[in-house]
Homo-oligomer: A and B are copies of this chain.
Amino acid sequence: MPHQITALDLPQAELSDATKAYFEKCVEKLGLIPNVLLAYAFDEKKLRGFTDMYNDLMLGESGLSKLEREMIAVAVSSVNHCYYCLTAHGAAVRQLSGDPALGEMMVMNYRAADLSPKQKAMLDFAVKLTETPAKIEETDRAALRGVGFSDRDIWDIASTAAFFNMSNRVAAAVDMRPNAEYHGMAR
């Protein structure tokens, strides 16, 4: 391994069979085990807590498409300049959209993208929630409803944006390194 996954030296426990199976499924489906999972794997309870929440948010049922959730992930991570999340989720936007430039716009500045008013409002909310959470008011929720989002959609936008505000900070705090494979994907 040419580079550690994080800057922390954490005692690595023996992986359970369930975790080994989960990681094998990752390799099968994604071609790799995302480093974030390896970073959490020093404690399987923490790993499961992370993956349960992540999988529900990003892959579960929602009025938001998977691409839209990835767009939120990347726009939030751009504000926070998170190398790990921009790399991994930038690749996801490229893959899910089939539009490499869209992935780059999310990484660099979502305002450069030619989005529908609905998606623009979604990212405006996610970014305001990231930058100045204390200043969110009813008018901000009303703006989302005004472009057609349901209250359940608002929950999903909020909790996705909030989740990446968490992940960005875990990654920053431990200097988490993304898998090298992401860089070349879906270019």
Q: Which residues of A contact B (CB under 8 A)?
A: 7-11, 42, 45-46, 48-50, 52-53, 56, 60, 78, 80-83, 86-87, 100-101, 104-105, 107-109, 111-112, 125, 129-130, 133-138, 141, 151-152, 154-155, 157-159, 161-163, 165-170, 172-175, 177, 180, 183-184, 187
Contacts and interface: CB of A to CB of B under 8 A. Distances in A.
Contacts of A80: 133-134
Contacts of A134: 80-82, 109, 111, 172
B49 A138 contact: no
Q: Tell me the number of copies of this protein.
A: 6
A53 B56 contact: no
Contacts of A136: 111, 172-173, 175
Contacts of A46: 56, 159
**Interface residues of A, dominant DSSP:** helix
A151 B109 contact: no
B151 A9 contact: yes
19 contacts: A7-B138, A7-B141, A8-B151, A10-B155, A46-B56, A82-B133, A83-B104, A83-B109, A100-B183, A101-B183, A129-B169, A129-B173, A133-B168, A136-B175, A141-B175, A154-B173, A154-B174, A162-B168, A165-B166
Nearest to A39: B155
Contacts of A166: 162-163, 165-166
